[in-house]
Amino acid sequence: MDLHYTAGETAFRDTVRAFLDSHLPADLQRKVRQHLRLTKDDYVRWHKIVAQQGWAAPAWPVEYGGTGWTAVQRHIWEDECARAATPPILPFGVNMVAPVIMAFANAEQKAYYLPRILNCDDWWCQGYSEPGAGSDLASLKTTAERDGDHYIVNGQKTWTTLGQHADMIFCLVRTDSTVRKQEGISFLLIDMKTPGITVRPIIMLDEEHEVNEVFFDNVRVPVSNLVGQENKGWTYAKYLLGHERTGIAAVGRSQRELTFLKQLAMRQNKRGAPLLHDPAFAAKVAHLEIELMALEMTVLRVISEEGKGPGPQASMLKVRGSELQQQLTELMVEAIGPQALPFDPDFLDGSAPHSSAGDDLAAPLAAYYFNYRKTSIYGGSNEIQKNIITQMILGL
Ligand SMILES: Cc1cc2nc3c(=O)[nH]c(=O)nc-3n(C[C@H](O)[C@H](O)[C@H](O)COP(=O)(O)OP(=O)(O)OC[C@H]3O[C@@H](n4cnc5c(N)ncnc54)[C@H](O)[C@@H]3O)c2cc1C
């Protein structure tokens, strides 16, 4: 295992940097750097710029529009995007439903959906979780009953991220309730404009509308929207979860945030000197930086085993990555102290050019801190990831 970049990889990094320097719109970069809220248009605009370059789906096979990059090149790309402060390419289409379509859908579905996902023509959302089925996902109760060439879908999904913008939802539905619960689940693609679908916002701690409840009331879905075989959806669902890979550690973004934290702490005054010179605060920052370096090495070790497929190591990266992200937001709020108190939604949404609270860098940080409580829950809670680590890595 060699953790150093080759000359070719360093040259690749330069190519990526040059692309980002010339193509990342300044207004989007400012929003991401300053922790402001992104609109649907912001996400779509950046996705289409990257798609134009042919880089929107680096991990896809080349025949479907992928890049043919190695895992290390994909890591460099993600790392550079994080450092440059690009909006994310949302995972729901490119990284979640697309691999399932490639592996299990029929030729017609592949030909229709994959190019649209690549180009962000459809906004996808994920309909897995239900009020009684989160960690215990196989307990899901949303039903799909066959009626001729349609399924009739009834039930409720929850925590549907950015579902308010969605054109399509990929859904796990129960098609047989007489068998073992994992064996009666199917994977359906549902057009969000179908009559009978209601999307209700869930407002988060930071007052952001990021997640939703989605209700299905006698929604008619063509049988042609079933992926793969009826009642085999659990296999496809697990395949999809395995694709939320190493990127979940988000080391590049945390490194950008660490730089931001240091700038913030240099600017803050504590008894006549910069806060970053305060030994107690500096020790916390140093500790975090060391932990981040260790995580980066772990990510590189995992991706150096390219070809083995997603393994339980992804759980370690998720737990550690999310913990460090949360610690960073805690230290930011600690650094700005009482300046975290004002809450200025107009500034956060970009409708006011400056914060009425007076400090544009400090104003979004409390909301950012609250928002980041989610990272240890979504994508499978950290407690569940720890169970996976104890069982599959430690063999306990
Ligand atoms: C911001 C956000 C966005 C999300 N986006 C989506 C989305 O787009 N689509 C989607 O389908 N889902 C989404 N989710 C749902 C997410 O996947 C679930 O919240 C998560 O899997 C946990 O399920 P739960 O909320 O039902 O909690 P529960 O499963 O009820 O768990 C509650 C607590 O008990 C713990 N716990 C449960 N079982 C065990 C166990 N066996 N051992 C130890 N501890 C246990 C959990 O870790 C947790 O701390 C999102 C969640 C959040 C917070």
* pLDDT tens sequence across 178-218: 999 999 999 999 999 999 999 999 999 999 999 999 999 99
More confident residue, 1 or 60: 60
Residue 383 beta carbon below 6 angstroms from any ligand 1 atom:
yes
Q: Whose structure tokens read 């660490």?
A: 258
For residue 165, the 8-state DSSP code is G
Q: Which atom of ligand 1 is nearest to the CA of 136?
A: 29
Residue 91 beta carbon below 6 angstroms from any ligand 1 atom:
no
Whether pLDDT at 245 is above 80: no
Contact 104, 228 (CB under 8 A): yes
Predicted confidence at residue 241, as pLDDT, reads 75
CA of 129 to the centre of ligand 1 (A): 8
Predicted confidence at residue 295, as pLDDT, reads 95
From 323, 384, 391, 396, mutation site for ligand 1 pocket: most ligand atoms within 8 A of C-beta: 384
Q: Whose CA is nearest to atom 25 of ligand 1?
A: 134
Predicted confidence at residue 358, as pLDDT, reads 84
Across the range 269-293, mean pLDDT stands at 96
Whether pLDDT at 310 is above 80: no
pLDDT one-digit tens code per residue, 376-394: 999 889 999 999 999 988 9
Residue 368 beta carbon below 6 angstroms from any ligand 1 atom:
no
One DSSP character per residue, 201-252 reads: EEE-TTS-EEEEEEEEEEEEEEGGGEESSTT-HHHHHHHHHTTS-GGGG-HH
Question: Nearest 5 degrees, angle CA 34-CA 162-CA 52?
Answer: 70
More confident residue, 121 or 3: 121
Whether pLDDT at 396 is above 60: yes
Using CA atoms, how far apart are residues 272 and 277, in angstroms rounded to an integer? 10
From 97, 135, 156, 241, mutation site for ligand 1 pocket: most ligand atoms within 8 A of C-beta: 135
* Average pLDDT taken over every residue of the chain: 94
Whether pLDDT at 244 is above 80: no
Identify the bridge partners of residue 230 per DSSP, sorted by sequence position: none
Identify the bridge partners of residue 151 per DSSP, sorted by sequence position: 146, 221
**Catalytic annotation on 244?**
yes
Residue 211 beta carbon below 6 angstroms from any ligand 1 atom:
yes
Band (pLDDT 50/70/90 cuts) for residue 234 is: very high
Q: Whose CA is nearest to atom 23 of ligand 1?
A: 134
Band (pLDDT 50/70/90 cuts) for residue 307 is: low
From 129, 160, 240, mutation site for ligand 1 pocket: most ligand atoms within 8 A of C-beta: 129
Predicted confidence at residue 138, as pLDDT, reads 96
Using CA atoms, how far apart are residues 234 and 182, in angstroms rounded to an integer? 6
Using CA atoms, how far apart are residues 390 and 392, in angstroms rounded to an integer? 6
Given 230, 244, 291, 323, which residue is catalytic?
244
Whether pLDDT at 113 is above 60: yes
Predicted confidence at residue 64, as pLDDT, reads 97
Instruction: Return the sign of the alpha-carbon dihedral for residues 339, 362, 162, 385.
Output: negative
Predicted confidence at residue 334, as pLDDT, reads 97
Whether pLDDT at 365 is above 90: yes
